[in-house]
Amino acid sequence: MVDLSFVRKDIVPQRAAPLSEAGIVGWFRKNMFSDIPNTILTIIVLYFIISVLSSILPWVFSPTWYSGSLTECRSILAELGRDGHGGGGACWGVIRERWLQLLFGFYPSELYWRPILAFFLLGLALAPVLFEGASRKLLYLTAVYPFLCFWLIWGGSIWFPITVFAGFIIAYVGFVYVNKIAGSLSGVIASIVLPLIWWLFIVSPLSTMLFSILPIGSEAIDSDRLGGFMLAVLIGVTGIALSLPIGILLALGRQSDLPILKGVCVCFIEFIRGVPLITLLFVASTLLNIFLPPGSNFDLILRVMIMVTLFASAYMAEVVRGGLAALPKGQYEAADSLGLDYWKAQRLIIMPQALKISIPGIVSTFIGLFKDTTLVSIIGLLDPLGLSTNIRADMAWNGILWELYGFVGFIFFIFCFSMSRYSMYLERRLATGH
Amino acid sequence: MKKSAFFGTIAAATFAAGFAAAGTLEDVQAAGELKCGVSTGLAGFALADANGVWDGFDVAVCRAVAAAVLGDGNAVKFVPTTGKTRFTALASGEVDVLARNTTWTFSRDVDLKFEFAGVNYYDGQGFMAPKALGVTSAKDLDGATVCIQTGTTTELNLADFFRSNNISYEPVPIETNAEAQAQYLAGACDVYTTDASGLASTRATFEAPDDHIVLPEIVSKEPLGPLVRHGDNNWGDIVRWTLNALITAEELGVTSANIAEHSANAGKNPEVNRLLGTEGDLGGMLGLDKAWASRAIAVNGNYGEIFEKNIGVNTPIGIARGLNASWTDGGLIYSAPFR
Amino acid sequence: MNAIPDPDKQGFKFSQLLYDTRYRSMTIQVVSLIALLLFFGWLISNTAANLATLGKPIQFKFLGEPSNYDINQRLLDYTSRDTHLRAGLMGLLNTLVLAFMGCITATVLGVAIGVMRLSKNWLVARVMTLYIEMFRNIPVLLWIIIVFSIMIETMPRPNQFRSGEASMKLLDSVAITNRGVYIPEPLFSNGLGDIYLLGASSLRFGISLDLIALLIVLFVGVFVSRKIKTSADKIQNETGVRPTTWWKRISVIIFPIILVLWALGFHLGYPELKGFNFKGGTYMRNSLIALWIALSLYTAAFIAENVRSGIQAVEKGQSEAAFALGISPGRTMNLIILPQALRIIIPPLISQYLNLTKNSSLAIAVGYMDLTGTLMGITLNQTGRELETVLMGMAIYLVISLAISSLMNWYNNSVKLVER
């Protein structure tokens, strides 16, 4: 046998790619200079980036952190030989002096731990909802959190949130008990009527009484001291949390085959989505008190929260409706074939899946709402933008502009960007594929 | 999730409403604080500092009323209001008294149903222009771009002024004073118009105030004062006479320095005695105690002291008393007598 | 759903309202309707009681009273002697102009950025991602204020043009100042004038006859050009040879228009510095420009994301098939991908248009006199009629939104794939 072969039998060792294709050079060639139009585009973009950075960076890096007023800052810049009239560098002293105010508004500084604690607890309370790995026990915290947060931010008697919370226990107990003796419909009615009576007529005197017996409480903070990013987060979180249940009900109403109910839900949703948020805020600031019983009066922040909740629930309803529509029909049919009634099917089969699908939508609604909280500055609330105006009216910082907007924009960016990244991560994780 | 706190607060609010049928005085005393509507920030008149403490000429009126009614000049909840929200805030009971550079006009008094408690500042609308523009009279402003604050009487006066002088202009409406100032300084408008006091206050905060002049024309009358809702005359009386007490104190020479001495014992001047409650019981007629006026004066001093401290010639705002001098010095500040 | 029980033979019982599924849904609806009506009744009675206390019964008489204030940007004739109603109309027109301009630029920018975001050029794709993230994650109100401040702080003042520190752009025809941009305006030296409709009422408006003449000529030209096309098609079908018609088709549109323009004495009016400001030309105020730019850039970021996901939703096989046919990448995008992606993009695009229109109400932050600035702004302040003005404003916005969404839905239905 002659060892004859027409093709090479052993594999030639792999050679490195040519220098022009490998490594950094290759990467650049492939991704930025692959052909002439691409090269031109790259050069234009590079020129643009360089010109933007070269005008912004020297302005950003400006040693004015310790200046106490605009004039002082400008004299520092002038000493350094820079243009002392705003163009030469940023006056970061205003941020050093007022950053706490931009974060917390006029909240008493010795009590800053309360909103901070509330914010961290918010993270813990949301953990079981947002991350799969989190302990289920944290759900108890989630249930109690709204009351805890209310008490931490506004302070006052601890009995008020506790008695309000008791209303829910009463609703549950009422439902279970009445359900046993008089059927499910009466149970539902009892679970609505009993807590309403409790909240409307018993909570206020009872909490006052309990407070006079056992005065446990913390220093009460007026709403007008709330401001800055704390206010934005507070309005945003309240709006989303409250709008979720309302939005689910509206979405179900819109999907239902009861014509009147459907009509009402569609009208509400389309009305709210058809008008700008600012007009709803005008309603909050000028009209809401006219709609309510003569003499009733609660503060602007609460009124804004009510209107923002209504606003968000219309958008939430559409998000949830999208989730409901994305569920395959087989899920509904399977629930029906198991003989589940409407509410059981919703609770056990439909909603858990639909809500799971809608979480990215809910997060983006939240981002939108959070950004929209800046609109409250137009009706005179001191959100970060409102506070910037206030700071600019101060004589020491009169004429300051970009530093404040830059800071506010930066914080918003960090909040919203991280949330949108989170929502993308969720989208990937939840892509179970029906 | 947060549903309950929300309903609970509404319930509480409804309850509070149940008790709120009484007069404003009772409400204020029950709440232990006076809700006072101020502007969102105008140097010298109302401005919150870094700690959220409000100070200024209008703020002082609020503090005086709070001292008279509650005995504590700090028992005030300041509600910043914009030009748009201020009247609604007052009408809906969100604030008990509005002290926010508000011009007393017929329609506000009669049609909007408010009661002006008096005038704490006589103002008029003026124009400010950069010196470099070379304008000496408002009548030279044909074709100029004019920055105005919206939601005030200024835009109406402006329209009237230019129309009656048959010259054209380009209005640039702006929400806040800070914004107007920025635009004016950047040259986005040729002149800035608002109340002369506001112009002085704005000009004072400029880097180079001397580069700007206030034109001689005053195109309107702007009596500014605190106001309350129609229909609660007792409350209106309290605010009116608190303001009058501050004015009378200046006239009678009662200052924050000597008020303790005057209040302790009845002195020779019977009007001082009546004012400070060492003789008679004027406070009782208002539903307050005898020392109401002495407390109101003690917080920030009398009208003149308040003026000098917040907006007077020695402050950066630097407004001379002018029309706002006491009538004894040839001004218009005049109080009805205490008897 | 529960099974439907057998028809009841014993006649109607009251408890059936609750326990019979045939009636239960009706019961629930009627009960909730009654509850809703009661709620509205409660609101209305509260409102009536409150308004009675305030002494301000609902009435719209103020709309007929003189507004007493001036509006800088007015698309129709208006003075401070006109009524509040007309002032509101000016605001409405300003809102519509802003929304229209914004929608167009946002679409163009958004499509361009969405496509570039998918570019193979790494740098371009990254810069576009950065742009999208920047604009999506910072509030639009802040962007509006920032763009407005940039306009005011960095553009030259009118008097800097006089001293020569700044100069006009584009052959001395465009002046960019910190008060706005002046561009040449079309003028007709022997124009036909305007016709005025609705007499002297508050809603009166004039229509330029010149514009109507131009539009008529344009339509006739397009019609004739289509005729030429169909006849060319016919010849091609019959003989297999297509006559060259492009120059005919273009010239029947262009020449009549040029002729009409010449007859009307068309010329451009250039802005000139006179007194405090530029005179002549079309003046686009800095508030309009700032809103236009900020709203376009902001909405474009969202549209770009919609475009991107629309393009990515088109199956890869489509572009592979196109490449297999030897179609160039650019033409693949234009002829294969975008038309298919369009169907996916349009529904979210509608809601972006709605958002832009609604966001135009933030005009109030920079003093642009739109509907919120006039009717819900100065008119509200001067008359103290919060209820009437705010409700009217909301109703108008609602009508605009519904009009946009029905128009776009109609378009969407007309381009939708007809499924069999």
State pLDDT tens for residues A406-426.
Answer: 999 999 999 999 988 888 887
Distance CA B271, CA A177 (A): 73
Q: Find, in chain A, the residue whose alpha carbon is nearest to that of B13.
A: A298
Residue partners of C99: CB distance under 8 A and separation at least 6: C353, C356, C357, C360, C400
Distance CA A141, CA A269 (A): 32
In this prediction, residue A81 carries a pLDDT of 76
Contact A161 B8 (CB under 8 A): yes
Name the architecture of domain A97-107+221-430.
Orthogonal Bundle (1.10)
| Residue A95 near residue A407, CB atoms below 8 Å | yes
Measure Cα distances from C223 to C217, C237, C256 in Å. 10, 21, 13
Start and end residues for every CATH 1.10.3720.10 domain found in chain A: 97-107+221-430
- The H or E element spanning position B214 is strand B212-214
The distance of B84 to chain A (nearest Cα, Å) reads 8
- 3-state DSSP call for residue B92? coil
What is the ipTM metric for this complex? 0.87
Whether A399 and chain C come into contact, CB under 8 Å, resolves to no
Q: Which two tokens stand for residue A190?
A: 């009892």
Burial class of residue C17, CB neighbours in 10 A (0-12, 13-18, 19+): middle
Q: What is the mean pLDDT of residues A330-344?
A: 87
Residue partners of A259: CB distance under 8 A and separation at least 6: C29
Chain A partners (3+ C-beta pairs within 8 A): B, C
In this prediction, residue B101 carries a pLDDT of 82
In this prediction, residue B7 carries a pLDDT of 41
State pLDDT tens for residues C52-102.
Answer: 877 778 888 889 989 888 998 888 889 888 999 999 999 999 999 999 999
CATH superfamily, domain B21-122+224-329, is Periplasmic binding protein-like II (3.40.190.10)
Residue partners of C292: CB distance under 8 A and separation at least 6: C98, C101, C102, C105
Partner residue opposite A389 with nearest CB, options B49, B176, B185: B176
A 329-368: CB under 8 A from B: none
Query: Which amino acid, A271?
Result: F
| Cβ–Cβ pairs < 8 A, chains A and B | 158
Partner residue opposite C397 with nearest CB, options A48, A274, A371: A274
Closest CA to B125 of B29, B210, B191: B191
- Which residues of B fall within a CB distance of 8 Å from A300? 79, 94
Contact A342 C1 (CB under 8 A): yes
Closest CA to B89 of B227, B195, B194, B223: B227
Task: Say yes or no to pLDDT of C130 above 90.
Answer: yes
Q: What's the pLDDT band for A83 if we cut at 50, 70, 90? A: low
In this prediction, residue B12 carries a pLDDT of 45
Whether B13 and chain C come into contact, CB under 8 Å, resolves to no
- Which residues of C fall within a CB distance of 8 Å from B144? 275-277
State pLDDT tens for residues C345-402.
Answer: 888 898 899 999 999 999 988 889 999 989 988 898 888 888 899 999 999 999 999 9
Task: Say yes or no to pLDDT of C211 above 50.
Answer: yes
State pLDDT tens for residues C273-330.
Answer: 888 888 888 899 999 999 999 999 999 999 999 999 998 888 889 989 999 999 888 8
Neighbour count for residue C249 (Cβ, 10 Å): 18
Contact B150 C367 (CB under 8 A): yes
In this prediction, residue C37 carries a pLDDT of 92
The distance of A31 to chain B (nearest Cα, Å) reads 44
Q: What's the pLDDT band for C201 if we cut at 50, 70, 90? A: confident
In this prediction, residue A226 carries a pLDDT of 86
Query: Which amino acid, B132?
Result: A
Partner residue opposite C127 with nearest CB, options A45, A374, A416: A45
Contact B52 A105 (CB under 8 A): yes
Radius of gyration of chain A (CA): 29
Cα-to-chain-centroid distance, residue B88: 17
Residue partners of B305: CB distance under 8 A and separation at least 6: B250, B255, B256
Partner residue opposite B41 with nearest CB, options A241, A300, A393: A393
Higher pLDDT, A35 or C117: C117
Distance CA C98, CA C369 (A): 11
Contact B173 C367 (CB under 8 A): yes
| Residue C346 near residue C408, CB atoms below 8 Å | yes
Distance CA C128, CA C317 (A): 26
- Tell me the domain boundaries of chain B: 21-122+224-329, 125-220
Residue B76, beta-bridge partner list: B34
Chain B partners (3+ C-beta pairs within 8 A): A, C
Contact C376 A374 (CB under 8 A): no
Distance CA B90, CA A98 (A): 31
Distance CA C211, CA C139 (A): 39
Q: 3-state SS of chain C?
A: CCCCCCCCCCCCCCCHHHHCHHHHHHHHHHHHHHHHHHHHHHHHHHHHHHHHHHCCCCCCHHHHCECCCCCCCCCCCCCCCCEHHHHHHHHHHHHHHHHHHHHHHHHHHHHHHHHHHCCCCHHHHHHHHHHHHHHHCCCHHHHHHHHHHHHHHHCCCHHHHHCCCCCCECCCCEEEECCEEEECEEEECCCCCEEEECCCCCCCEEEEHHHHHHHHHHHHHHHHHHHHHHHHHHHHHHHCCCCCCHHHHHHHHHHHHHHHHHHHCEEEECCEEECCEEECCEEEEHHHHHHHHHHHHHHHHHHHHHHHHHHHHCCHHHHHHHHHCCCCHHHHHHHHHHHHHHHHHHHHHHHHHHHHHHHHHHHHHHCCCCHHHHHHHHHHHHHCCHHHHHHHHHHHHHHHHHHHHHHHHHHHHHHCCCCC
Distance CA A171, CA C386 (A): 39
| Residue C281 near residue C185, CB atoms below 8 Å | yes
- Which residues of B fall within a CB distance of 8 Å from C382? 156
First to last CA, chain B: 60
In this prediction, residue B10 carries a pLDDT of 45
In this prediction, residue A433 carries a pLDDT of 53
| Residue A175 near residue A147, CB atoms below 8 Å | no
Query: Which amino acid, C185?
Result: E
Q: What is the mean pLDDT of residues A92-98?
A: 88
The distance of B169 to chain C (nearest Cα, Å) reads 9
| Residue A421 near residue A358, CB atoms below 8 Å | no
| Residue A299 near residue B89, CB atoms below 8 Å | no
Partner residue opposite A278 with nearest CB, options C46, C120, C372: C372
Chain C partners (3+ C-beta pairs within 8 A): A, B
Partner residue opposite B174 with nearest CB, options C68, C367, C386: C367
Whether B207 and chain A come into contact, CB under 8 Å, resolves to yes
- Which residues of C fall within a CB distance of 8 Å from B176? none
Give the whole-number percent of chain C exceeding pLDDT 70: 95
Residue C272, beta-bridge partner list: C279
Whether B298 and chain A come into contact, CB under 8 Å, resolves to no
CA atoms within 13 A on the CB side of B319: 29
Task: Say yes or no to pLDDT of C418 above 70.
Answer: no
Residue partners of C227: CB distance under 8 A and separation at least 6: none
Residue partners of A12: CB distance under 8 A and separation at least 6: none
Query: Which amino acid, A373?
Result: T
In this prediction, residue A373 carries a pLDDT of 93
Residue A81, beta-bridge partner list: none
Closest CA to C32 of A251, A269, A265: A265
Partner residue opposite C276 with nearest CB, options B84, B155, B190: B190
Contact B8 A203 (CB under 8 A): yes
The distance of B184 to chain C (nearest Cα, Å) reads 10
Contact C358 A367 (CB under 8 A): no
- 3-state DSSP call for residue A122? helix
Whether B71 and chain C come into contact, CB under 8 Å, resolves to no
Q: What's the pLDDT band for C6 if we cut at 50, 70, 90? A: low
Contact B4 A245 (CB under 8 A): no
B 179-198: CB under 8 A from A: 179, 181-182, 185
Q: Which two tokens stand for residue B224?
A: 């500014």
The answer to pTM > 0.90 is: no
| Residue A347 near residue A341, CB atoms below 8 Å | no
The distance of C34 to chain B (nearest Cα, Å) reads 22
Q: What is the mean pLDDT of residues C320-347?
A: 87
Sheet holding C282-285, edge to edge: C175-177, C180-183, C282-285
- Which residues of A fall within a CB distance of 8 Å from B20? 295-297
The distance of B1 to chain C (nearest Cα, Å) reads 24
B 56-115: CB under 8 A from A: 77-82, 84-85, 88, 92-94
Q: What's the pLDDT band for C4 if we cut at 50, 70, 90? A: low
| Residue B24 near residue A216, CB atoms below 8 Å | no
Same topology between domain B21-122+224-329 and domain B125-220: yes
Closest CA to A104 of A366, A304, A308, A384: A384
Distance CA A175, CA A192 (A): 9
Residue partners of B214: CB distance under 8 A and separation at least 6: B126, B127, B128, B196, B199, B200, B203
- Which residues of B fall within a CB distance of 8 Å from A225? 52
3-state helix, strand, coil in chain B (%, to 5): 45, 20, 40
Contact B175 C367 (CB under 8 A): yes
With tokens 């003005």, the residue in question is: C389
Q: What is the DSSP letter of B72?
A: -
- Which residues of C fall within a CB distance of 8 Å from B152? 381
Radius of gyration of chain C (CA): 29
Q: Which two tokens stand for residue C163?
A: 């001293």
Distance CA C298, CA C310 (A): 19
B 9-38: CB under 8 A from A: 9-17, 20-21
Interface with chain C: mutation pick from A51, A290, A369, highest number of C CBs within 10 Å: A290
Q: b/e map of B111-147 (b: 16 or more CB within 10 Å)?
A: ebbbbbbbbbbbbbbbbbbbeebebeebeebeebbbb
State pLDDT tens for residues A282-324.
Answer: 998 888 888 888 766 677 888 899 999 999 999 999 999 988 8
State pLDDT tens for residues A102-149.
Answer: 998 888 888 888 989 998 888 888 887 777 777 777 788 888 888 888
Q: What is the mean pLDDT of residues A21-37?
A: 77
B125-220: in CATH 3.40.980.10: no
- 3-state DSSP call for residue B130? strand
Instruction: Work out whether strand C205-208 and strand C194-197 pair parallel, antiparallel, or are unpaired.
Output: antiparallel
Partner residue opposite C142 with nearest CB, options A261, A341, A408: A408
Residues of chain B with pLDDT under 70: 1-22, 151
Packed helices A351-372 and A228-255: angle between N→C axes, nearest 10 degrees: 140
A 274-293: CB under 8 A from C: 274-279, 282-283, 286-287, 289-293
Helix intervals (H) in A256-375: 259-274, 277-282, 288-291, 300-326, 329-337, 342-345, 351-372
With tokens 């913390």, the residue in question is: A218
